[in-house]
Amino acid sequence: MIRFSHVHKRFARTGAALQDVTFQVNKGEFVFITGPSGAGKSTILKLCFFEEQPSTGEVKVYGTSSATFKPADIPRLRRRLGVVFQDFRLLEDRNVESNVAFALEVTGTAPSQIGPRVSRLLAQVGLAAKATALPRELSGGEQQRVAIARALANDPVALIADEPTGNLDERATRGIFQLFRDINANGTAVLMATHDLDLVRRAGCRTIEVNRGQIVFDSASDGGFRGPDTPDAAEDDE
């Protein structure tokens, strides 16, 4: 579903960010991307939702290839992904339900369906009682739940999360992580960048470690994971 093949990414100002990165995330998988700051975790995630394109190599996400995509393909792809950031990226002047409804309005959901769907999403993330609150009236953990509800609005096939617990305390982190596990249990793949090694150890999920722009460890390499160069790698993009 998400496949990186020999991806190199070079920025004009800062030089090489990724070097020969190859991995694949299959349907319904939960994958951590770990590594120190500046290792290239965020760049990998940005490549996943096509905010960046590789300098060389190919990124293929749910049938959209960095080698052949057209600009109009990007909105279509992003509607099939949910993206969550460390800084939540909520619209401060809209209340919780408007922030979630926004994602549905943008994608052309029928107005009659938006209300019930927003209520369900807020119930799913445990914020049904705070629908009319403004983001600044919520705790960090609650704001992140709103961001997750927004990311789930269009039933994504994969949730991409860049340090989603980076700004949260221990308790909120546990709550958010459990939410991700629940989402994953419903069949949505989760690709989560974090440097919280305790969390990674406790979770026992597949872990890809990045350092200086290269993959230095992939727990799936020991068993089960089929790299993109493997002849029998499943074409499960659609």
Partner 1 sequence: MRLAVREALLAFRRAPMLSALSVTTIAFSLFAFGLFGLVALNIRNALQTVEDRVEIRAFIADGTGSEATAAALGDIGAFPEAASVRLVSQTQALDRARRELGEFSDVFEEGILPASIELRLKPGFRDPETVKAVAKRIEVYDFIDDIRFGEEWVEKLHRLRNIATLAGLALGLTFAVVAIIIIGSTIRMAVMARSREIAVMRLVGATNGFVRAPFLIEGFLKGTLGGLLALVLAWIALTVINRFVVQATFFDPWMGAVGVLAGACIGLAGSALSVGRHLKRV
93 contributes a contact to partner 1 by CB under 8 A = yes
For residue 105, the minimal CB distance to partner 1 (Å) is 6
Matching residue, tokens 């914020």: 127
For residue 203, the minimal CB distance to partner 1 (Å) is 26
Residues near 146 by Cβ (< 8 Å), separated by ≥ 6?
Answer: 88, 90, 96, 99, 100, 125, 127, 135, 138
For residue 200, the minimal CB distance to partner 1 (Å) is 25
**Exactly one of 56, 107, 113, 230 binds partner 1 (CB under 8 A); which one?**
107
Q: How many residues does the chain have?
A: 238
**Exactly one of 8, 16, 65, 102 binds partner 1 (CB under 8 A); which one?**
102
Matching residue, tokens 């965020």: 42
Cα–Cα distance, 143 to 238 (Å, whole number): 32
Q: What are phi and psi of 2, to 5 degrees?
A: -115, 125
Cα–Cα distance, 233 to 220 (Å, whole number): 14
Binding range to partner 1, per CB under 8 A, among 11-19, 37-45, 102-110, 221-229: 102-110
Binding range to partner 1, per CB under 8 A, among 89-97, 168-176, 180-188, 219-227: 89-97
For residue 118, the minimal CB distance to partner 1 (Å) is 13
105 contributes a contact to partner 1 by CB under 8 A = yes
Taking CB under 8 A as the rule, which mask of x and - marks residues 47-76 in contact with partner 1? Answer: --x---------------------xx--xx
For residue 99, the minimal CB distance to partner 1 (Å) is 9
Tell which residue, 174, 102, 175, has the closest CA to residue 135. 102
Cα–Cα distance, 167 to 197 (Å, whole number): 15
75 and 81 in contact (C-beta within 8 Å)?
A: no
For residue 104, the minimal CB distance to partner 1 (Å) is 9
Taking CB under 8 A as the rule, which mask of x and - marks residues 148-167 in contact with partner 1? Answer: --x--xx-------------
Tell me if residue 172 falls in helix, strand or coil: helix
Residue burial 198-219, b: 16+ Cβ < 10 Å; e: rest: ebbeebebbbbbbeebebeebb
Tokens linked to 55: 């300098």
Residues that contact partner 1, how many (by CB under 8 A) = 21
78 contributes a contact to partner 1 by CB under 8 A = yes
Positions in the binding site for partner 1 (CB under 8 A): 49, 71-72, 75-79, 83, 89-91, 93, 102-103, 105-107, 150, 153-154
